[in-house]
Amino acid sequence: MNPKALLSFLLITHPSAILGFTNNLNSRSTTSLFAKKQQNRKSKAATPKSGGGFASAPAKPTTDGKVRTVSGFQGSGTKPLRIAANTFDKLRKDYGKDYTSDVYCKSPLNDPELLWYVGKVNIRPNTAATPEQAVIAQKRLILEYAKRELRPQNLGGKYASSLELWFARGDSEMDAVQNKVSLTKVDGSVADLSEDFSVNDVGYNPTSTGTAPVDEATNDSLNDWLTDEEYK
């Protein structure tokens, strides 16, 4: 029986019970309205904190402006290499050889002892850049050059999965051949780059003199890799 029909029935049969019943109806109604008001207050109070009900996800570290990227497709390294080489030349001209490091590449799958000279990196002084970070920031570019153009028979194909990069004091190639300088293995990843590191503060040049090295297997020079309108 609905409340209105019950109220009519009681009015006829039990008039004394009407007061208690109506009080119960008012009590329920009051409780219901009060509960809605509380929910509204909580919702309004929570709005500024929740930003519309969605928690903000923590920002992920970005690599923008920190690395020179290469897609891996043939020819994709042309523009990044041009920029890296131009930056190297400018830094070398402005700050000399003191901020230069020689870079070597090795594939333990091919030969656990043999390192191939693959060029130089340099840094802008008084910045967050270090020789190791200069290599890490340009690692993909260096490796693509090494395995595709410089020594594909030793660093490419089935040997490419284990490539390592090492660096030594700049312009020390002859001393390295005679084991007169120590080499340092490059560890870490892009995630280890300093927060204020900028790839604009580092350069990379595959050769020390600008002469294109010739691949012994294909007789292709670095200049062939760079024949592109972007490089002109």
Work out the average pLDDT over 201-208.
83
Q: Please indicate whether residue 111 or residue 29 has the higher confidence score (pLDDT).
A: 111
Quick one: pLDDT at residue 139?
A: 96
DSSP single-letter state for residue 108: T
Quick one: pLDDT at residue 69?
A: 81
Quick one: pLDDT at residue 89?
A: 96
Amino acid at 158: K
Quick one: pLDDT at residue 63?
A: 72
Q: Please indicate whether residue 35 or residue 90 has the higher confidence score (pLDDT).
A: 90
Q: Please indicate whether residue 221 or residue 165 has the higher confidence score (pLDDT).
A: 165
Work out the average pLDDT over 77-86.
90
Quick one: pLDDT at residue 45?
A: 47
Quick one: pLDDT at residue 218?
A: 41
CA atoms within 13 A on the CB side of 29: 7
Question: Could you tell me the two tokens for 7?
Answer: 């109220």
* Angle at the Cα of 188 from the Cα atoms of 98 and 215, rounded to 5 degrees: 65
* Residues 94-144 pLDDT 10s: 999 999 999 999 999 999 999 999 999 999 999 999 999 999 999 999 999
Quick one: pLDDT at residue 76?
A: 53
Quick one: pLDDT at residue 85?
A: 95
Arithmetic mean of pLDDT over the chain: 74
Neighbouring-strand partners of residue 83: none
Work out the average pLDDT over 1-12.
49
Q: Please indicate whether residue 149 or residue 4 has the higher confidence score (pLDDT).
A: 149
79-88, 123-132, 181-190, 215-224, range with the lowest pLDDT: 215-224
Separation CA 172–CA 135 (nearest Å) = 17
* Residues 36-63 pLDDT 10s: 344 445 444 444 454 444 455 555 556 7
Quick one: pLDDT at residue 1?
A: 56
- Angstrom CA distances, 44 to 47, 82, 109, 172, 222, stand at 5, 57, 64, 69, 66
